Chain A
Amino acid sequence: MTAAQKTVDAALAREFGLSDEEYGRVLTIMGRTPSLTELGVFSVMWSEHCSYKSSRKWLRTLPTTAPWVIHGPGENAGVVDIGEGLAAIFKMESHNHPSFIEPYQGAATGVGGILRDVFTMGARPVANLNALRFGSPENPRTRQIVDGVVRGIGGYGNCVGVPTVGGEVNFHPAYDGNPLVNAMTVGVARQDRIFLSAAAGVGNPVVYVGSKTGRDGIHGATMSSAEFDENALAKRPTVQVGDPFVEKLLIEACLELMATDAIVAIQDMGAAGLTSSSVEMAGKGGVGIDLDLDAVPQREPGMTAYEMMLSESQERMLMVIKPERTELARAVFEKWELDFAVVGHLTDTGRIVVRHRGAVEADIPLDPLADQAPIYDRPVAPLAAPEELGPIHDPIGLEQSLLRLIGCPDLASRAWIWNQYDSAVGGQTVRRPGGADAAVVKIEGSEIGLALTTDCTPRYCRANPRSGGAQAVAEAWRNITATGAKPLAVTDNLNFGNPEKPEIMAQFVAAIEGMGEACRVLDFPVVSGNVSLYNETRNPDGSTQAILPTPAIGALGVLTDVRKTVGLALPASGVLVLVGETGGHLGQSLWLREVLGRETGDAPGVDLAREKRNGDFVRERIAAGQVAACHDLSDGGLLIAVAEMAMAGGVGCVLQSAESGIRPEAFWFGEDQARYLVAIEGDADALIARAKAQSVSARVIATIGGDGLTLPNGATISIARLRSANEAFFPGLMEA
C-alpha cells in the first residue's frame, strides 16, 4: 500500500512517531481528521529533531548572551562580533543516525546541511570541523564506518572548497551500533549583511532554488527521533544523497544574490525540507504562506504532495524576495545553472496552504502548529554515583605507559584522517590539524584570525555528567586560549540516548547544568546548537545500548592580530613551564583504561575560577610575545602533552623529576584540569614570578633540546620511537 492510500488515524500517527496524546492535539487544532500531508507536516514539525520537545526546558537554562553576541539560538546559526565590522557565523549539527545506516552519504550530507545553515545567513563558509565517535576498533563494522564517514566528510568538504581544519575522534564500544557524526561550519559575513529567516511582506513571492526535489530522505527527521532496532539498515531510503558540486554552486549563487537587496528572508531546506523551511519562515514572520507544489522542480514524475513536503533532498533553499527583483534573482541562479522557481507567496491568513494538482492538500494554522507543539518535562532519575576508583599500581612503568598511551586509539595520530581532508583550500589556514590546540584561520583581507575547536570527553560525562559537561566547555576554552585567541562563544551538539528513560534524562540535565555553569563563569555563551536524542541500539534480546553521554562543544575564539598566534611545536631550545596545579587525578583517565583496563573513578573536577585565572594568564603571556609554543593538558595528562609537543617540533627535552609527593604515574598521566604547557625561549623566571603574583601555579618541568624525551629515571625515548608508536594505529586499523 502506498502512503497516499493510507487511512489517517491514530495508528498511522503512531507509525509517523506521534503519540496518541499528540495526535489528539492535532485533531483539536484541525477540528477534523487531517489529510495525509497534514499529518506528515505535524509529525515532522513535532518530531524530537525539529521540536526539541524533550530538551527545550533545559536548553533555556544555558547562557546565550554577551556584548559580542549578535544572534544567539533561534536563527540558523549563532552570530558573534569579531571586530572590523565582521561577524563569525557558526553552528554544529549531528548526522548520527544516517551515518550508521549509510556512512558515506550520512556524513557527506551532514557537512552539506551545516554549510547551508551558515551560508543561508549571508556568510561565506571559511572552515569546517567535526566531532566523531566510533565503536570499538575490534568491532569489524567500525572500520567500514570510519572509512565511509571519513570519505564522506572529505568528499563533500573537499569539493565545495571549504577547508576542513579540525576535529576530534574517539572510539568506545558504546558507539558500536550508533556512531556520532557532528559537523561544524564557520563562516564570515559583514555585520550589516546578515540574512534572517523571518518572512515579511504579504504578497511577496516565495522562491525555491537549488536542486530538484526527489523521493529521498522522506521522514528522515522522524527516523532520527527513534532508537535503532535490528532493522536499522533497512532504513537506508530515509538517508539523503548529497551533491557537493551543486552545493558549491548554491553557495556562490546565494552569496552573489545576497550582495544585492533582493532577498527579504532565506532559509535552507534541511530536516523536514519544504515543510520546516516554509513553516519556520512564515511562523517567525507572523504571516501565512501559500505553496503551489506544481511549481516545485521535481526530479521524478508522479510525486505526491506528501512526498514533496517531506522530502529531504539536499542542496535546496527557500527565499522570500522582493517582487521587483524576481528577474534579477532568476538571472543569478540561471548563471549558476541552478533551478529557480516561484512556488508560492506570502499571505495574511496565518496559515500554510499547500496546493497540488488543483486540490488543497494541506491547510494548517501556523500559530498552533508552533505554540501547541508538545514540550515535555521528562522524569529525571537520581544520578548514579561514579564507580569506585579501586586500587592503583603501575605494572609497566613510565616508559611503557607512555608508548602504550601515545599509540592508543584515543591518542594515536589522526593524520590518516586529516590527510584525506583538504585543510588548505582558501589559502587562509594558519594552523592546520595537529599544528596547534585549535585550528587557526585568517580572515582574508584583514589581520583577524579565528581559533576553532571541537571537544568533549564522553567517559567523563558518563562517570559524572555535570563535571563532564563543564569539562567539555573548559577544554574547548583552553584549546582556544592555547593559540592566544580570546574565546568568544560555543555551539553545542548534545548527543544522548533515549530521553524517555529517567536515567538518560538525568545525564542530559546534569550535563547541561555543568555546561551552563562553565559557560557563565568563562563568559563563553552558547549561540547555537543541536540536540540528538535516541542514540540507542536495541539488541535482538530487547535490551538497549545507549551511547556515552556526549555533549560535544564547538568553540570559536578571535585573534585581533593573527600573527601573534602560537602552535604546539617545541622550539629548538628553552624550557617547558607547567602552568596550573597537578593533583594526580587518575579517575577516568586514559592511563587507567589503557594500563589497568578499567574505566572507574570520578571525572576530574573542574575548578572554573582556576580555569579562568590560569587561562587568562597564558593568553596574556602569548599576547606579550613571551611564549614560543603552548599546549593544554587533557587526555593522557602531562607526559602525553610533552610528547605531543616534542613530536610536533621534532625536538626533545629532559624532564625534571616530579618531587611532588604524588605517585609518578599519577603525576605524569593524571588528568587534572586547568593546566597548560608553555615553551619559553626567554626569561622563564620572570614568567614564573609573574604567575605567582597572579596566584597562578607555574614551574619549570623540562629543558628543551635533543632528539628524545629523557624521563626523570634517566631513560630516553627517541622522537622517532614516539612517532612510530603514535602513527601505527590508524593505518593498522584501516589499511591492514
Chain B
Amino acid sequence: MKTGIVVFPGTNRERDMAIALHGVTGRKPEMLWHRDTALPDLDLIVLPGGFSYGDYLRCGAMAAHSPIMREVKAFAERGGHILGVCNGFQILTEAGLLPGALLRNGGMRFLSQDCYLRVETSETPFTRHWKKGDVFRAPLAHGDGNYACDAETLAELEGEGRVAFRYASAGGVVDASDRASNLNGSVNAIAGVISANNRICGMMPHPEDLVDPLMGGVDGKPLFDGLVEALVR
C-alpha cells in the first residue's frame, strides 16, 4: 500500500502517522508539501493532526484552500481513499469532502486524554478489522472537536450508516449528554464519519498514537491493518 501524508505549515502529527503507516505497510509514506501541485501514485492520502496555518481564522479553513488540496480533491473524485485525523478531519469538513463542522469543545478547554470509541460499522475500509459494537481506546488532543451538523445531514449520516465511531464509556455505553464519555460534546457523540462513497474517513481521536504496546497499547492498530487489507494491490 502506497501512502502519502500531507504536511501543512503547522502540521505536527505527521511523524506519529508516518510511524503507524510504516509499521503496517513496511514502506515509508511520502510526505506531501502543502504547495505541491501534483501527487505521486498513491493508495491512501492522510491529512494528519496539528495546527495547519496556526489554525488562525478557523481550524482547517486555510489549509482547505491550499494548492495540495486541489490535488486531494481530484484524488477524491477519482475514488481515492483519504483519512483525516484531528486537524485533518477539520480540513476535510472545511474542504467539503465530509459534512459537518468541528466546533470548540463543549467545556471550552483543550482536551488531551484517552477516550473510548465504539465502532458503529465494520463495512468500511477504515473499520473492517473491528466488529460493529467493538470498543477501543484512543488518545484525543484538540480544542475544537465538537462535531456539529444540521438536522438533515445528521439524519442522512445516521440513516446511511456513515457514523464510523462514537465516543463511549469504557464499557461501550454511548450517551451524548454524558460529558465524561462524550468529552467534547459532539452531536450524537459522533467521533468519526465516512463519506457517501465509503472512501473518506474523518475522526478526531488519534489511533496512530496507540499502535505500540510500549506507548500503552495497540488499540489503534486495527484501523491501519484494515486499510492495508483493503487497499493493497
Contacts and interface: CB of A to CB of B under 8 A. Distances in A.
Interface of A: 151, 154-155, 158-161, 243-246, 248-249, 336-337, 415, 418-430, 432, 442, 444, 562-563
A160 B214 CA distance: 24
A422 B112 contact: yes
A427 B208 contact: yes
A684 to B, nearest CB: 26
Of B49, B51, B110, B143, chain A has the most CB atoms within 10 Å of the CB of: B110
B109 A249 contact: no
Interface in B1-41: 9-10, 12-13, 15-16, 19-20
B75 interface: no
B31 to A, nearest CB: 12
B54 interface: yes
Nearest to A418: B112
B13 A425 contact: yes
Given A158-B141, A424-B112, A562 B12 contact: no
B111 interface: yes
B9 A245 contact: yes
A159 B10 contact: yes
B50 interface: yes
Contacts of A428: 215
Nearest to A161: B12
B197 interface: no
Nearest to B17: A427
Given A158-B143, A248-B10, A421-B112, 12 more contacts: A154-B112, A158-B112, A159-B55, A160-B12, A245-B53, A246-B54, A337-B9, A420-B109, A421-B110, A425-B49, A426-B15, A442-B214
A562 B49 CA distance: 26
Interface of B: 9-10, 12-13, 15-16, 19-20, 49-51, 53-56, 109-113, 139, 141, 143, 206, 208-209, 212, 214-216
Shortest Cβ-Cβ A-B pairs, 5 listed? A161-B12, A245-B54, A427-B16, A422-B141, A159-B51
A430 B49 CA distance: 20
B26 to A, nearest CB: 16
Given A243-B54, A562-B214, A425 B9 contact: no
A19 B16 CA distance: 53
Contacts of A424: 16, 112, 139, 141, 206, 209, 215
B194 to A, nearest CB: 25
Contacts of B53: 245
A425 B215 contact: no
A420 B9 contact: no
Contacts of B141: 158, 422, 424-425
Contacts of A419: 111-113
A426 B20 CA distance: 11
Contacts of A430: 214-216
B36 to A, nearest CB: 12
Contacts of B109: 151, 420
B110 A429 contact: no
Contacts of A249: 9-10
Given A245-B54, A249-B9, A425-B13, A563 B214 contact: yes
Contacts of B206: 424
Contacts of B112: 154, 158, 418-424
A420 B111 CA distance: 5
Contacts of A161: 12-13, 50-51
A414 to B, nearest CB: 12
Contact of B110 (A158, A248, A426, A442): A158
Of A155, A159, A421, chain B has the most CB atoms within 10 Å of the CB of: A159
A427 B12 contact: no
Contacts of B54: 159, 243-246
A164 to B, nearest CB: 9
Nearest to B20: A427
Contacts of A158: 51, 110, 112, 141, 143
Contacts of B13: 161, 425, 427
Contacts of A432: 216
B96 to A, nearest CB: 24
Contact of B51 (A151, A248, A426, A563): A248
A246 B51 CA distance: 11
A158 B212 CA distance: 22
Nearest to A160: B12
A154 B109 CA distance: 10
A194 B113 CA distance: 35
Contact of B215 (A245, A246, A415, A427): A427
A652 B113 CA distance: 24
Given A249-B9, A418-B112, A419-B113, A426 B16 contact: yes
B208 A425 contact: no
B74 to A, nearest CB: 24
B111 A425 contact: no
Contact of A427 (B10, B51, B209): B209
Contacts of B15: 426-427, 444
Contacts of B212: 427
A161 B9 CA distance: 12
A418 B50 CA distance: 18
A351 B48 CA distance: 49
Nearest to B206: A424
A337 B8 CA distance: 12
B56 to A, nearest CB: 7
24 contacts: A154-B110, A159-B54, A161-B12, A161-B51, A244-B51, A244-B54, A245-B9, A245-B10, A245-B51, A248-B9, A248-B10, A336-B9, A418-B113, A420-B110, A422-B110, A423-B112, A424-B139, A424-B215, A425-B16, A427-B20, A427-B208, A427-B215, A430-B216, A563-B214
Nearest to A154: B110
Contacts of B113: 415, 418-419
B144 to A, nearest CB: 12
A282 B127 CA distance: 59
Nearest to A429: B215
Contacts of B111: 419-420
Nearest to B213: A563
